Amino acid sequence: MSRVIADDEQYEKARKAVLDLAYKLDDPLIDMPVSERKRTIKIYDRTTDLILLYSRGRNVQERPELAAEYKALGWAYQDFTNPAPTNTPTEPEQAPETPPEPPKAVPNLSGWLD
pTM of the model: 0.67
Do 59 and 66 form a contact (C-beta atoms < 8 A)?
Answer: yes
pLDDT tens-place string over residues 7-42: 999 999 999 999 999 999 999 888 889 999 999 999
Is the pLDDT at 107 greater than 90, yes or no? no
- Rounded Cα gap, residues 24 and 47, in angstroms: 15
pLDDT tens-place string over residues 56-77: 999 999 999 999 999 999 999 9
Residues 6 or more apart whose Cβ sits within 8 Å of residue 78: 4, 5, 53, 54, 56, 57, 58
